Structure 1
């Protein structure tokens, strides 16, 4: 016996517990705790454009969640197979039951509930539309269209008002919504300095985190407590250091892990100041996918002159070759091989290995397809 999937429609805003504008990381994290309600979750994306691919979550059999390619925000919700009893679906709008195991959602029910709309193969309203086809999207108005008042709705779509698939780019980014409040919208990186974090809503004050100056207490005051504090024990990378690390190897150091922001901070034990900053791109198919939320980072270069108020930047979705030339016009430095699955034998990925490229003050972790998976400042 399956429990009923009981969801309410909020045009332009959401469906059930899913809110338009929510991050991919937040939704997948929520689904981990709801395996009894959504036992089958399938993640689909384009492996040839992994940094900017839209991501679709199939919650079988009823829900498809489409996330935007760059910001990984919930763009469109599709409810389908309304008559599939495994599990049965109850669909509501305000106080009205639109569809249930005992009653189908038909064209006439939609019109009675939402009022008149423009003619076409679909019934479209701001932030909401109803399709009478199992797959595909109708082509809009047709002159020879014939209507059946009792025709059953096959799929229901919810998206933002004004961003509902009618524009030339149906996958454009999601407009700012209340559910984004407190999330990082942009992280501007400056080598040898640190990172400036800009938050939602856009009117929020930015936070500047400086290497060697910002303390653990500052991080807690500005970002809240980390989701995890991890004491650093792996010193294998110190063998590559040109400096004498014998005096510092025994000093305690620890990470503040802000998975919800896609950022790690390495903090020195004696001084409790930030010594390294790691920003994660959350690229689908990479070993750390979904461990961190995507951090929308940009590396800022030096302005061309004193009057230049728009210094050049390279973003997380730029290819490694472009970012490498931006950091150093010479040939890329020698790389080190990294396989994050070495200690997890049960994990199998099509591209589990990455390479580390070190520059003056910054290290890039790069996938086999030239996508930058993370940036480390030191």
Structure 2
């Protein structure tokens, strides 16, 4: 027995519990907690361009959620198979039931509810589109047709107002909207200094997190309490240290984990000052995918002169070779191999198409990007996937 899926249409804004502009991390986190409402979930992406691939979350059999490639924001919602009873769907608009097990949504019903619109094979309104084809777009191949008032609606699409779903490129980004308020818009990284965080709305005052200066209390005031506090107990990397200070250290350092911002801060257990900052790229197919929201980081170089107000930057979607040359033009440093799954017996990686049980529980059968390499530079470390994508940046 399936529970009924009851959703309300909000043109240009959302459908049911899903809001246009929401992050991929937020939506998949919601789905984790709704296994009975959405028991079948597919996550699809292009592994060849894993850092900037648009991602489709398919909630069988009724919903497709398209996320933009760079910012991973909910771009378009598609509701289909309105007559499929597994589960049955009720579609509402304000106080009106448009479609249900007893009510078929037809062209005449749409016109009565939403009013007139421009002529065409489909009915289009700002932020809302009703299609009479099950899949795909006719692309004008059928020519002019006589409008049938009783024609059944097969798909409903919601996107931002002012955009044409048919003409949109899946790589287009979602315009700034209220759903994004409080999220990090941009993180400017400066080696040996720290990171400057810019938030939504874009009029918000940026926050500067400095290595060796920002305290745990500062983090709580500026970012709120972390989702998790994790005490550092892995000292394996200290074998590469040139100092013997770690042998005398008795106070345990700890991490503030801000999964919702794609950030970690390592804090000194004695001074409670930030020692390291970790920024996560949330690259599809990597072991850390979906543990952290994507942090839109940019590494800023030195300006060419005192009048240069736009210093060079490298971004999370640039290939490792490009970023490495930017950080060390002469020659890249030696690398070390890191297997992100070596301590987790059950964890492997989502393939380009992975389902709820495998993805949301971090179990699948394909592991395309298990082995990462770690490259250390002066003041910064890059963790790199086998496909040359930088999956995380560590400042120290």
Which band: TM-score by shorter chain?
over 0.9
- 1:295 Cα deviation from its structure 2 partner: 0.1
Which residue is 1:290 aligned to? 290
Structure 1 residue matching 2:291: 3-state secondary structure = coil
- CA drift of 1:249 comes to 3.8
* Over 4 Å off, 4+ runs: 140-143
User: 1:48 aligns to what SS in structure 2?
Assistant: helix
Change (3 A) 1:162 1:216: same
What is aligned with 1:371? 389
CA contact (8 A) 1:120 1:141 kept: no
2:164 corresponds in structure 1 to 164
Aligned twin of 2:4: 4
Please give the TM-score of this superposition, normalised by the length of structure 2: 0.93
> Which residue in the other structure is 1:52 paired with?
52
What whole-Å deviation, never above 9, does each CA across 1:168-193 have from its counterpart, x for those lacking one?
A: 63531001111111000000000000
2: CA distance, partners of 1:170 / 1:377: 33
Q: Is the 8 A contact 1:122 1:138 kept in 2?
A: no
Structure 2 residue 257 is matched with structure 1 residue 257:
yes
User: In 1, distance between residues paired with 2:294 and 2:247?
Assistant: 36
Q: CA deviation at 1:3?
A: 1.2
What is the RMSD computed on CA atoms of the aligned residues? Answer: 1.3
Counterpart Cα distance in 1 of 2:144 and 2:394:
60
Q: TM-score, normalised on structure 1?
A: 0.98
Give the match's secondary structure for 1:260: helix
Would you say the 8 A contact 1:186–1:199 is kept in 2? yes
Retained in 2: the 8 A contact 1:121–1:139? no
**Aligned counterparts, 1:304-343, within 5 A:** 304-343=304-343
Q: Partner of 1:226 in structure 2?
A: 226
Deviations 1:210-267 (A, max 9, x none): 0000000000000000000000000000101122234454331000000000000000
In the alignment, the residues of structure 1 paired with residue 122 and residue 375 of structure 2 have an alpha-carbon distance, to the nearest angstrom, of 51
Aligned pairs for 1:205-244 (under 5 A) are 205-244=205-244
Flag structure 1 segments of 5+ consecutive residues without an equivalent: none
Q: Paired residue for 2:371? A: 353
1:83 aligned partner: 83
Q: Deviations over 1:350-374 (max 9, x none)?
A: 2211000000000000000000000
CA distance in 1, matches of 2:372, 2:234: 18
Q: 1:359 to 1:96 in 2, by over 3 A?
A: same
Match of residue 40 from structure 1: 40
Structure 1 CA distance for aligned equivalents of residues 331 and 248 of structure 2: 32
Aligned positions, number:
378
When structure 1 is superposed on structure 2, of 9-18 and 148-157 the one drifting more is 148-157
Distance in 2 separating the partners of 1:234 and 1:255: 12
In 2, the alpha carbon distance for the partners of 1:363 and 1:63 equals: 40
Counterparts of 1:258 and 1:94 in 2: how far apart (Å)?
36
**d(CA) in 2 for partners of 1:241 and 1:293?**
31
Secondary structure class of the residue paired with 2:261: coil
Unaligned runs of 5+ in 2: 349-366
Q: What is the CA–CA distance in structure 2 between the aligned matches of 1:210 and 1:90, rounded to whole Å? A: 51
Cα 1:311–1:3 change in 2 (3 A) is same
Distance in structure 1 (CA, Å) of the matches to 2:223 and 2:215: 12
